[in-house]
Each structure stands twice: as structure tokens, then as C-alpha cells.
């Protein structure tokens, strides 16, 4: 099975008007996504921010739960935060995955729009690939209004956006992460009667 990693990108991402920005890290996304990543058996949760003080903030939160009082008080939170790596760029996250897994990862993102030159990939297809192919996969999620065209232009595959039955589509990124991981590696129900 290919090792699955996730990157949450805080910068550069785009704002409402498509301009490049850096979003603030929220402690909530650190904890929620680490717990979700641990539940779905991920090998790494890479938080990407170019801002040094924000990198330090996240490292401080993680250290509390990994080493401090937090580790004794809540060992399951330690397991989750042990997955966390903080990097300045997406490139650094990719290099970290490559170093740990011994192979450059496939880059896969979700996007609402098709992107010229990038292959669309179905959830079922990527699920089978993860189960059968040893090459690691790095799933990338953008905060704000999403990844920049430059980042989207570099990925190997684009998953379709998560949609419900209607047109409203404003899932929090931490909810989208959970749904995408469930579609890709969630334990499936046995067939009725088995």
C-alpha cells in the first residue's frame, strides 16, 4: 500500500478575488486534522506556512501534547500530533515525504475547476491506486479560497470537489479533509449477508 500524507497549505493560497495571500494558522485545524489523519492511518500531516512566527506557534502547540503535561493527560492526542510536520513551503513538505518514504510522492489536490494540463482523478481510482501501488501520495488542501493556479498546475491529479445533493458547497476544510480521507481509505462496509 502506498503511504498517504496530507498537506494543509496556509500560503501561498488565494483570496476571494484570486489574489495570493497567506492565511493564519488556527489551533483548531492543527488538532482536528491531526486526529482525523491518525484515524485514517496517514503517515504525515504537513502544515505549510511561510511565516516563521506561525511555524513556531504550531510547534509549541504540538510540543505541549507530544512531550509536556498533555502527553500524559491525553495519549491519543499525542499519537495524532506525532504526525505533524511544519514546513515553510509545499516543496519542503514534498521533500520531507520523499526523504521519509524513499520515493517522490504523487501530488493530488481537490479543486472545483478543471485545470489545464492536469488529469482529473476519481476517488475510486485513487483508492485502488493507494491500495495497490507503493508510490506515496501527498494530498494537498488549500485554506482561504484555495490553492494558487501555480500549485494546482504542479499536481499529478485533481479530485472532484465534495458535493452534497444541492448547490450549497461551503464545507469547512477540516470537514472536507475527513470526507476525502473516508472516501480514499475509510473502512468499507462488508456486503450484506457476509
Contact set with its own copies (CB under 8 A)? 28, 31-32, 35-36, 38-41, 76-77, 79-80, 122-125, 160, 162-166, 168-172, 174-179, 181-183, 185-187, 189, 192
Tell me how far, at minimum, the Cβ of 12 lies from its own copies, in Å: 23
Q: Which is nearer to its own copies, 99 or 168 (CB)?
A: 168
Q: Which is nearer to its own copies, 53 or 165 (CB)?
A: 165
Tell which residue, 141, 125, 124, has the closest CA to residue 42: 141
**3-state DSSP assignment of residue 137:** strand
Longest dimension (CA), the chain: 55
Q: Which is nearer to its own copies, 75 or 153 (CB)?
A: 75
Tell me how far, at minimum, the Cβ of 170 lies from its own copies, in Å: 5
Tell me how far, at minimum, the Cβ of 90 lies from its own copies, in Å: 24
Give every CB contact of residue 67 below 8 A, 6+ residues apart in sequence.
Answer: none
User: Helix 27-39 crosses helix 173-185 at what angle (to 10 degrees)?
Assistant: 10
Tell which residue, 177, 173, 147, 172, has the closest CA to residue 11: 147
Q: Which is nearer to its own copies, 12 or 142 (CB)?
A: 142
Say which DSSP state 147 is in.
Answer: B
Tell me how far, at minimum, the Cβ of 52 lies from its own copies, in Å: 27
Amino acid at each position: 500500500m502506498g503511504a498517504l500524507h496530507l498537506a494543509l497549505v496556509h500560503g501561498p493560497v488565494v483570496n476571494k478575488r484570486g489574489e495570493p495571500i497567506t492565511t493564519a494558522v488556527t489551533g483548531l485545524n492543527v488538532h482536528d486534522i491531526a486526529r482525523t489523519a491518525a484515524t485514517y492511518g496517514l503517515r504525515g500531516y504537513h502544515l505549510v506556512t511561510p511565516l516563521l512566527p506561525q511555524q513556531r506557534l504550531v510547534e509549541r502547540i504540538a510540543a505541549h501534547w507530544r512531550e509536556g503535561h498533555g502527553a500524559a493527560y491525553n495519549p491519543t492526542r499525542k499519537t495524532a500530533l506525532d504526525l505533524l510536520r511544519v514546513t515553510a513551503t509545499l516543496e519542503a513538505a514534498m521533500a520531507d515525504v520523499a526523504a521519509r518514504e524513499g520515493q517522490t510522492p504523487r501530488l493530488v489536490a481537490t479543486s472545483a475547476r478543471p485545470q489545464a494540463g492536469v488529469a482529473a482523478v476519481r476517488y475510486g481510482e485513487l483508492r485502488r491506486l493507494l491500495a495497490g501501488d507503493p508510490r506515496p501520495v501527498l494530498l494537498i488542501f488549500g485554506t482561504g479560497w484555495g490553492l494558487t493556479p501555480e500549485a494546482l498546475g504542479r499536481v499529478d491529479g485533481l479530485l472532484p470537489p465534495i458535493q452534497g445533493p444541492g448547490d450549497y458547497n461551503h464545507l469547512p476544510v477540516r470537514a472536507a479533509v475527513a470526507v476525502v480521507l473516508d472516501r480514499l481509505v475509510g473502512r468499507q462496509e462488508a456486503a450484506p449477508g457476509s
